[in-house]
Chains A and B, each alone.
Chain A
Protein backbone atom coordinates (compact mmCIF):
# COMPACT_ATOMS: atom_id res chain seq x y z
CA UNK A 1 0.00 0.00 0.00
CA UNK A 2 0.85 3.66 0.11
CA UNK A 3 2.00 5.30 3.31
CA UNK A 4 4.32 7.84 4.87
CA UNK A 5 6.25 7.27 8.07
CA UNK A 6 7.50 10.30 9.85
CA UNK A 7 9.84 10.81 12.75
CA UNK A 8 7.86 11.14 15.92
CA UNK A 9 7.95 14.30 17.91
CA UNK A 10 7.82 16.51 19.63
CA UNK A 11 11.23 17.92 18.78
CA UNK A 12 12.72 20.75 20.81
CA UNK A 13 15.80 22.57 19.59
CA UNK A 14 17.73 25.65 20.55
CA UNK A 15 17.89 28.51 18.09
CA UNK A 16 20.58 28.03 15.40
CA UNK A 17 20.65 24.27 15.90
CA UNK A 18 20.61 21.84 12.97
CA UNK A 19 17.28 20.22 12.17
CA UNK A 20 16.53 16.86 10.62
CA UNK A 21 13.05 15.38 10.43
CA UNK A 22 13.04 11.91 8.93
CA UNK A 23 10.44 10.80 6.42
CA UNK A 24 10.23 7.49 4.58
CA UNK A 25 7.52 6.28 2.27
CA UNK A 26 6.07 3.27 0.51
CA UNK A 27 4.25 3.82 -2.75
CA UNK A 28 2.81 1.92 -5.67
CA UNK A 29 4.01 3.91 -8.63
CA UNK A 30 6.04 7.08 -8.86
CA UNK A 31 5.00 9.60 -6.26
CA UNK A 32 5.73 13.25 -5.83
CA UNK A 33 6.94 14.15 -2.36
CA UNK A 34 6.07 17.19 -0.31
CA UNK A 35 6.74 18.84 3.00
CA UNK A 36 3.94 20.94 4.45
CA UNK A 37 4.10 23.16 7.52
CA UNK A 38 1.23 24.03 9.85
CA UNK A 39 1.57 27.02 12.15
CA UNK A 40 -0.68 27.20 15.22
CA UNK A 41 -4.30 27.87 14.29
CA UNK A 42 -3.64 27.81 10.56
CA UNK A 43 -4.02 25.49 7.60
CA UNK A 44 -1.20 23.60 5.97
CA UNK A 45 1.21 25.49 3.74
CA UNK A 46 3.47 23.94 1.16
CA UNK A 47 7.08 24.22 2.25
CA UNK A 48 8.83 22.37 -0.58
CA UNK A 49 8.37 19.57 -3.07
CA UNK A 50 10.24 17.15 -5.34
CA UNK A 51 8.66 15.32 -8.23
CA UNK A 52 11.29 12.76 -9.23
CA UNK A 53 14.24 10.84 -7.87
CA UNK A 54 17.30 12.91 -6.89
CA UNK A 55 15.35 16.17 -7.07
CA UNK A 56 16.07 18.53 -4.22
CA UNK A 57 13.32 20.79 -2.95
CA UNK A 58 14.29 23.90 -1.03
CA UNK A 59 12.60 26.91 0.50
CA UNK A 60 13.29 29.30 3.38
CA UNK A 61 16.51 27.48 4.25
CA UNK A 62 14.81 24.08 4.38
CA UNK A 63 15.91 21.29 2.03
CA UNK A 64 14.87 17.75 1.23
CA UNK A 65 16.16 15.34 -1.39
CA UNK A 66 14.03 12.66 -3.04
CA UNK A 67 15.96 9.42 -2.47
CA UNK A 68 14.39 6.58 -4.36
CA UNK A 69 16.96 4.00 -3.24
CA UNK A 70 16.17 4.59 0.42
CA UNK A 71 12.54 5.73 -0.18
CA UNK A 72 13.21 8.78 1.93
CA UNK A 73 12.60 12.53 1.87
CA UNK A 74 14.23 13.87 5.03
CA UNK A 75 13.75 17.53 5.89
CA UNK A 76 16.83 19.52 6.96
CA UNK A 77 17.66 23.05 7.97
CA UNK A 78 21.08 24.25 8.97
CA UNK A 79 20.08 26.84 11.55
CA UNK A 80 16.55 26.95 12.94
CA UNK A 81 14.82 30.05 14.23
CA UNK A 82 12.10 30.53 16.81
CA UNK A 83 9.73 31.35 13.95
CA UNK A 84 10.20 27.81 12.57
CA UNK A 85 8.20 26.40 15.48
CA UNK A 86 5.32 24.54 13.84
CA UNK A 87 4.12 21.09 12.88
CA UNK A 88 5.75 19.59 9.79
CA UNK A 89 4.01 17.03 7.58
CA UNK A 90 5.62 14.83 4.98
CA UNK A 91 3.28 13.76 2.16
CA UNK A 92 3.30 11.81 -1.04
CA UNK A 93 1.07 12.41 -4.03
CA UNK A 94 0.05 9.72 -6.49
CA UNK A 95 -1.93 9.80 -9.69
CA UNK A 96 -3.05 6.19 -9.67
CA UNK A 97 -6.54 7.33 -8.78
CA UNK A 98 -6.90 11.06 -8.83
CA UNK A 99 -4.21 12.87 -6.92
CA UNK A 100 -4.60 11.35 -3.52
CA UNK A 101 -2.19 12.61 -0.91
CA UNK A 102 -0.93 10.45 1.91
CA UNK A 103 0.27 12.37 4.92
CA UNK A 104 2.58 11.41 7.73
CA UNK A 105 1.44 11.94 11.29
CA UNK A 106 3.26 15.26 11.61
CA UNK A 107 6.26 16.28 13.71
CA UNK A 108 5.93 19.12 16.14
CA UNK A 109 8.98 21.36 16.33
CA UNK A 110 9.60 23.90 19.08
CA UNK A 111 12.61 26.18 18.81
CA UNK A 112 13.65 27.90 22.01
CA UNK A 113 15.74 31.09 22.13
Chain B
Protein backbone atom coordinates (compact mmCIF):
# COMPACT_ATOMS: atom_id res chain seq x y z
CA UNK B 1 0.00 0.00 0.00
CA UNK B 2 1.59 3.23 -1.21
CA UNK B 3 -0.59 5.49 0.95
CA UNK B 4 -2.06 7.19 -2.13
CA UNK B 5 -5.78 6.63 -2.55
CA UNK B 6 -7.86 7.05 -5.65
CA UNK B 7 -11.60 6.94 -6.16
CA UNK B 8 -13.48 5.52 -7.84
CA UNK B 9 -11.72 2.32 -8.77
CA UNK B 10 -13.80 1.83 -11.89
CA UNK B 11 -15.90 4.25 -13.91
CA UNK B 12 -18.07 3.47 -16.90
CA UNK B 13 -19.67 6.31 -18.78
CA UNK B 14 -20.82 7.38 -22.22
CA UNK B 15 -19.25 9.59 -24.86
CA UNK B 16 -19.83 13.28 -24.32
CA UNK B 17 -20.11 12.95 -20.55
CA UNK B 18 -17.98 14.51 -17.83
CA UNK B 19 -16.33 12.68 -14.93
CA UNK B 20 -14.22 13.60 -11.92
CA UNK B 21 -11.44 11.42 -10.55
CA UNK B 22 -10.22 11.99 -7.04
CA UNK B 23 -6.83 11.46 -5.44
CA UNK B 24 -5.59 11.76 -1.88
CA UNK B 25 -1.82 11.92 -1.60
CA UNK B 26 0.31 10.30 1.08
CA UNK B 27 0.29 12.14 4.37
CA UNK B 28 2.85 14.94 4.19
CA UNK B 29 3.28 14.88 0.41
CA UNK B 30 2.83 18.26 -1.22
CA UNK B 31 3.11 17.25 -4.84
CA UNK B 32 0.48 15.41 -6.87
CA UNK B 33 0.85 14.08 -10.40
CA UNK B 34 -1.65 12.65 -12.85
CA UNK B 35 -0.86 10.05 -15.50
CA UNK B 36 -2.81 8.29 -18.18
CA UNK B 37 -1.94 4.71 -19.06
CA UNK B 38 -3.31 3.24 -22.25
CA UNK B 39 -2.26 0.27 -24.34
CA UNK B 40 -1.29 2.30 -27.39
CA UNK B 41 0.38 5.26 -25.67
CA UNK B 42 1.94 3.79 -22.58
CA UNK B 43 2.24 5.90 -19.43
CA UNK B 44 1.77 9.58 -20.19
CA UNK B 45 2.33 12.40 -17.73
CA UNK B 46 -0.60 14.77 -17.65
CA UNK B 47 -0.06 17.41 -14.99
CA UNK B 48 1.62 18.15 -11.66
CA UNK B 49 0.49 20.27 -8.73
CA UNK B 50 2.63 21.40 -5.84
CA UNK B 51 0.96 22.76 -2.72
CA UNK B 52 -2.06 23.94 -4.65
CA UNK B 53 -0.26 25.46 -7.61
CA UNK B 54 0.16 23.98 -11.06
CA UNK B 55 3.84 23.10 -11.47
CA UNK B 56 4.25 21.21 -14.73
CA UNK B 57 2.07 20.29 -17.66
CA UNK B 58 2.49 17.33 -19.95
CA UNK B 59 0.27 15.84 -22.60
CA UNK B 60 -3.00 17.01 -21.12
CA UNK B 61 -5.88 17.70 -23.47
CA UNK B 62 -7.82 20.94 -23.23
CA UNK B 63 -10.91 18.90 -22.34
CA UNK B 64 -9.11 17.78 -19.19
CA UNK B 65 -8.41 19.92 -16.15
CA UNK B 66 -7.16 19.37 -12.65
CA UNK B 67 -6.84 21.16 -9.36
CA UNK B 68 -5.32 20.62 -5.95
CA UNK B 69 -7.27 21.75 -2.92
CA UNK B 70 -6.05 23.27 0.37
CA UNK B 71 -6.17 19.85 2.04
CA UNK B 72 -3.86 18.69 -0.80
CA UNK B 73 -6.25 16.22 -2.38
CA UNK B 74 -6.56 16.57 -6.12
CA UNK B 75 -9.24 16.09 -8.73
CA UNK B 76 -8.90 15.40 -12.43
CA UNK B 77 -11.87 16.48 -14.50
CA UNK B 78 -12.43 14.90 -17.89
CA UNK B 79 -15.13 16.38 -20.11
CA UNK B 80 -16.66 15.75 -23.54
CA UNK B 81 -15.41 12.22 -23.21
CA UNK B 82 -14.41 10.25 -26.27
CA UNK B 83 -13.88 6.54 -26.76
CA UNK B 84 -10.14 7.14 -26.87
CA UNK B 85 -10.16 8.49 -23.33
CA UNK B 86 -10.71 4.99 -22.02
CA UNK B 87 -7.60 4.24 -19.97
CA UNK B 88 -6.17 3.77 -16.51
CA UNK B 89 -5.62 7.07 -14.74
CA UNK B 90 -3.00 7.10 -12.04
CA UNK B 91 -2.32 9.65 -9.40
CA UNK B 92 1.07 9.83 -7.72
CA UNK B 93 2.47 11.94 -4.93
CA UNK B 94 5.88 12.95 -3.68
CA UNK B 95 7.22 14.84 -0.70
CA UNK B 96 8.31 17.87 -2.68
CA UNK B 97 9.06 18.67 -6.27
CA UNK B 98 12.69 17.71 -6.44
CA UNK B 99 14.03 15.33 -9.02
CA UNK B 100 15.30 13.05 -6.28
CA UNK B 101 11.91 12.41 -4.80
CA UNK B 102 10.37 9.20 -5.94
CA UNK B 103 6.72 9.28 -6.76
CA UNK B 104 4.30 6.97 -4.98
CA UNK B 105 1.47 5.74 -7.13
CA UNK B 106 -2.13 5.07 -6.28
CA UNK B 107 -3.98 1.97 -7.51
CA UNK B 108 -5.53 3.85 -10.43
CA UNK B 109 -9.02 4.55 -11.75
CA UNK B 110 -10.06 2.54 -14.77
CA UNK B 111 -12.22 4.67 -17.03
CA UNK B 112 -14.30 3.03 -19.72
CA UNK B 113 -16.09 5.27 -22.21
CA UNK B 114 -18.82 3.51 -24.19
Contacts of B25 in A (CB 8 A): none
Asked if B13 is at the interface (CB within 8 A of a chain A CB), the reply is: no
Q: Is the CB of A43 within 8 A of B48?
A: no
- Contact pick for A43, options B2, B31, B94, CB 8 Å: B2
Q: Mark A84-113, 1 if CB is under 8 A from B, else 0.
A: 000001000111011111111110000000
Chain-A contact segment, one of B66-74, B76-84, B101-109:
B101-109
Q: Is the CB of A97 within 8 A of B99?
A: no
Q: How many A-B residue pairs have CB under 8 A?
A: 71
Q: What's the nearest-Cβ distance from chain B to residue A45, in Å?
A: 7
Measured in the bound complex, the distance between the Cα atoms of B100 and A31 in whole Å is 8
- Contact pick for A99, options B4, B43, B99, B108, CB 8 Å: B99
Asked if A44 meets B55 with Cβ closer than 8 Å, knowing A99-B98, A101-B103, A103-B42, the reply is no
Q: Mark A12-47, 1 if CB is under 8 A from B, else 0.
A: 000000000000000000111010100000111110
Q: What's the nearest-Cβ distance from chain B to residue A96, in Å?
A: 9
Chain A: residues with Cβ within 8 Å of the partner, total of 26
Q: Mark B83-98, 1 if CB is under 8 A from A, else 0.
A: 0000000101010111
Interface CB pairs A-B, < 8 A, 17: A31-B99, A43-B4, A43-B90, A43-B105, A43-B107, A44-B43, A44-B90, A44-B92, A49-B102, A51-B99, A51-B100, A89-B43, A93-B103, A98-B56, A100-B45, A103-B43, A104-B42
Give the interface of B toward A (CB within 8 A): 2, 4, 31, 33, 42-43, 45, 48, 50, 55-56, 58, 90, 92, 94, 96-108
